[in-house]
Amino acid sequence: MKKITIVLLLISLADLVLWLVQIPSETLWPAGMIARELWPWFIVLNLLGLFLAYFRFRWAMVIFTAALAMSVWPLTTIPGIERNMAMQWDQQGFSPDNLKVPAVLPFYWQTLTDLEMPDVPPNQLRSDIYFYKSPRSVGQEPLPVIIDIHGGSWQRGAASEDHRFASYMAEQGYAVFTIDYRKAPTFHYPAQTQDVRDAMEWVFRNAPFYGADPSRIALVGRSAGGQLALLAAYTIKRIPVRAVVSLYGPTDLTEAYEDPPEVDPINIRAKLRAYMGNDPGELPDAYRDASPTSHIEGDLPPTLLIQGDHDDIVQPRFARELQSALQKNGTKALLLKLPWSEHGFDFVHFGPGNRLALAYIDAFLKDVMTPWKSRPLTE
């Protein structure tokens, strides 16, 4: 019992440190993100620690109590998240009848490789597109399409890395295509957006062969992929994008460069220079063109923004500012704020942040992508 109590005490101390100390290291900051998403399990751990410490180390009860309070705090914020989202649903005219937080996360995937991507020189892009469709959807009417764009600071990542998200969404009744793009610093903007456009056009042309409906396409991206998804949704008019979801994607690249986070574990300015080819002083027009906030005009698809309030990489204010600009434009825009979450929180697939995100993504897409809300196709 003594050894167990000591081990639990060390784990609780580590959890407290990771919650309270911002880690300015690209290698180590994910530890804090993971700790924040494990709070339901730390509630149980700290309760057990309190029980054991009462018999052996009563002085340790102070530490377990502090760690328990830290772990319980996110739980107290969930009713507020639900009230805020319900208010937004009502104000924006949504009817989220399908909202449900998943209890089981299935795993299923199919792979399509070596698909020809137009207008991309050979050997510049690994042109794999991964396709996900639940066996339960076989024989049903054409499914709505999700095109998923991975993150990775525009420098790394692959079409296959979002398989858990794609598998879950496939089980909810979507045909999911995950795509890739050329990487910085070898290739600068707009190469990445060109690759996204080419992949979108391929999916639009070929969706019927996979039992999917090309008139119901949604874009989903996380981090750098969120920026690419928003930019494509707001600028590519010849493909009928019906909705876009961005998880902690940067929205104003000039402002992100000029006002980086205080801790800045990944060196935002270096990542942006690698992506754009230089700083905004040298490339002001390119930074403006690459920023989704620069394209808020006209008829834009409904947008769901998902953001952790403790994001040390993409500051939460950017999501709030984009939502405000979209609403002033008359575009439906929802913002799901997770008070405890860090950048990349959905990496912890079974964590509460990701489960809430999945529930709201599914409810949002089911509302805006119903067949009777189809918009006319554009040439």
List beta partners, residue 333.
Answer: 303
**Interval 354-377: pLDDT, tens:** 999 999 999 999 999 887 444 443
Instruction: Please determine, for residue 105, whether its predicted confidence score (pLDDT) is greater than 80.
Output: no
For the segment 338-346, the average pLDDT, to the nearest whole number, is: 97
Do residues 12 and 117 both lie within one domain? Answer: no
- Does any domain span residue 191? yes
* Residue 132 · residue 169 · CB < 8 Å: yes
Do residues 151 and 298 both lie within one domain? Answer: yes
In terms of residue numbers, what domain contains 321?
A: 93-373
Instruction: Please determine, for residue 73, whether its predicted confidence score (pLDDT) is greater than 90.
Output: yes
Q: Got the DSSP string for 124-190?
A: SS---EEEE--GGGTTSSPEEEEEEE--STTTS--TTTTHHHHHHHHHTT-EEEEE----TTTS-TT
Do residues 310 and 185 both lie within one domain? Answer: yes
Strand 143-149 vs strand 129-132: parallel, antiparallel, or unpaired?
Answer: unpaired
- Does any domain span residue 70? yes
Residue 217 makes CB contacts below 8 A (sequence gap 6+) with 144, 145, 147, 200, 203, 204, 207, 239, 240, 241, 242
More confident residue, 102 or 172: 172
Considering its fold, how many domains does the chain have in total? Answer: 2
For the segment 190-217, the average pLDDT, to the nearest whole number, is: 93
- Does any domain span residue 330? yes
| Percent of the chain residues past pLDDT 90, beyond the cut | 70
For the segment 51-68, the average pLDDT, to the nearest whole number, is: 87
Do residues 164 and 237 both lie within one domain? Answer: yes
Do residues 108 and 186 both lie within one domain? Answer: yes
For the segment 321-340, the average pLDDT, to the nearest whole number, is: 97
Instruction: Please determine, for residue 231, whether its predicted confidence score (pLDDT) is greater than 90.
Output: yes
Instruction: Give residue 129's pLDDT.
Output: 84
Instruction: Give residue 124's pLDDT.
Output: 57
Instruction: Give residue 117's pLDDT.
Output: 58
The last residue of a domain, from among 44, 76, 108: 76
Instruction: Give residue 7's pLDDT.
Output: 86
List beta partners, residue 111.
Answer: 130
**Interval 116-131: pLDDT, tens:** 555 555 555 556 788 8
* Residue 305 · residue 323 · CB < 8 Å: yes
- Per the prediction, the chain carries an average pLDDT of 89
Angle, vertex CA 350, rays to CA 349 and CA 353, nearest 5: 80
- Does any domain span residue 38? yes
- Does any domain span residue 246? yes
The answer to pTM > 0.75 is yes
Instruction: Please determine, for residue 209, whether its predicted confidence score (pLDDT) is greater than 80.
Output: yes
Lowest mean pLDDT among 12-26, 107-121, 177-191: 107-121
Do residues 198 and 298 both lie within one domain? Answer: yes
**Interval 13-36: pLDDT, tens:** 999 999 988 888 888 889 999 999
- Does any domain span residue 379? no
Do residues 350 and 279 both lie within one domain? Answer: yes
Do residues 53 and 13 both lie within one domain? Answer: yes
Instruction: Give residue 321's pLDDT.
Output: 97
Do residues 219 and 289 both lie within one domain? Answer: yes
Do residues 244 and 190 both lie within one domain? Answer: yes
Distances (CA, A) of 98 to 245, 360, 364, 365: 17, 9, 9, 10
Instruction: Give residue 372's pLDDT.
Output: 45
For the segment 191-213, the average pLDDT, to the nearest whole number, is: 93
Do residues 150 and 34 both lie within one domain? Answer: no
- Does any domain span residue 86? no
| Percent of the chain residues past pLDDT 70, beyond the cut | 91
Instruction: Give residue 377's pLDDT.
Output: 39
CATH number, domain with residue 145: 3.40.50.1820
Do residues 107 and 187 both lie within one domain? Answer: yes
Instruction: Give residue 25's pLDDT.
Output: 86
Q: Got the DSSP string for 36-99?
A: HHTHHHHHHHHHHHHHHHHHS-GGGHHHHHHHHHHHHHHHHHHHHHHHHHHHHHHHHT---TT-
- Does any domain span residue 87? no
Instruction: Please determine, for residue 310, whether its predicted confidence score (pLDDT) is greater than 60.
Output: yes
For the segment 151-156, the average pLDDT, to the nearest whole number, is: 96
